[in-house]
Amino acid sequence: MKRVSLKDIAKMVGASPSTVSFILNGKASQMRISDELKNKVLATAKKMGYQPNQVAVSLRTGQTKILGLLVEDISNNFFASLAKTIEEEAEEFGYKVVYSSTENNSKKGVELLRMLTQRQVDGYLVTPTLGMEEDIEMLVKHKKPLVLMDRYFPGIEAAYVQVDNTGAVLKGMEHLVEKGYKKIAYITIESGLIQMRQREEAYAEAISKSPEQKKKYALKVAYNGSREVIIDQITEFLKKNKPDAVFFATNYLGILGLESIRSIGLSIPKDLAVICFDDNDIFRLHLPGISVLQQPVEAIARTAIHILMQQLGNNKVAIKKNQVQLAANFIVREST
């Protein structure tokens, strides 16, 4: 089907292409074009299904009005909520969002980032994975509007927004210690990403300060391990170490952990207290309810968008002021 052009509309209404262009770009009053002709052009454009050439628009304005969003897994509740809020906030500023999942795969992440660059997006919102450092650093070097979310690279001076992982885990551990638990285990994934390291280091710090517990009881499972394998690993770990409380580093691990705990026949919190980093509907509906450190997803998204809009508006704010950590919301339920 042939694309409708300005010349096609001009021919239909009996006006010059330049006059039609002025009207469609909202300059009818400025160019003293009559309301009658303006309305005729707008009605004809609508009837003919005219769509502006985005390449031409971006060449004229220097903007595509499109933002690129890369998350780890769009099917994950956290990232889905993040994307939803970002899309809503971006629309308020007149931007559309193109997004995709890296699946924590560095090769795919780099390819997607380069694809967004080729599409000339105006700004980038990224939850990076290891292996993307070089491309992220290149965006920073070329002063591209960029905000990292959920995690960042310590060696790269980029704007970022994340939850205060250290403070959240310390708060959860303090709660367990105050409740009298003396053998607190920690279950996490094998990962070099900063947010996972921060959580694990906070657990170790809490144990080092504990008056009762001096030994760490930690299990690391493969990031891409099958649910069956991970459940078996958690089951074996709990049977062997017999902790009185367990802290899961992600909600996915927490959900698998509940299956493991049920298979062993342990009662929560009588036999084992449970706390998890990040919330999920399952934790709210589970009997008993599971205590969580809830990430402020909407606040992370809104903060990231506003920082990006500052960059797009050439508002030169020091990078350090745009490296933001937000407090987690500690929700105490019956599991602790």
Domain housing 97:
64-163+298-327
Residue pair 93/36 in contact by the 8 Å Cβ criterion: no
Clarify whether residues 116 and 159 are in a common domain. yes
In a domain, 1, yes or no: no
Q: Do 171 and 269 lie in a common domain?
A: yes
The CATH number of residue 146's host domain is: 3.40.50.2300
- pTM of the predicted model, to two decimals? 0.80
Q: How does strand 323-326 pair with strand 217-221?
A: unpaired
Claim to verify: residue 42 and residue 72 sit in the same structural domain: no
Q: What pLDDT, in 10s, does the model give residues 59-87?
A: 455 567 899 999 999 888 899 999 999 99
Residues 47, 82: Cα–Cα separation, whole Å: 37
Question: Smallest Cα–Cα separation from 264: which of 240, 298, 293, 291?
Answer: 240
Q: Is residue 4 predicted with pLDDT exceeding 80?
A: no
Q: How far apart are CA 299 and CA 53, in angstroms?
A: 35
Q: What is the pLDDT of residues 193-230, one digit of tens each?
A: 999 999 999 999 999 998 889 899 999 999 888 999 99
Same domain, 138 and 73: yes
- Residue 214 has what pLDDT? 84
DSSP 38-95: HHHHHHHHHHHT----HHHHHHHHS---EEEEEES-TTSHHHHHHHHHHHHHHHHTT-
Q: Is residue 302 located within the same domain as residue 158?
A: yes
Residue 30 sits in the same domain as residue 79: no
170-198 pLDDT per residue, tens = 999 999 999 999 999 999 999 999 999 99
pLDDT at 21: 80
Of 50, 52, 61, 51, the C-alpha closest to 120 is 61
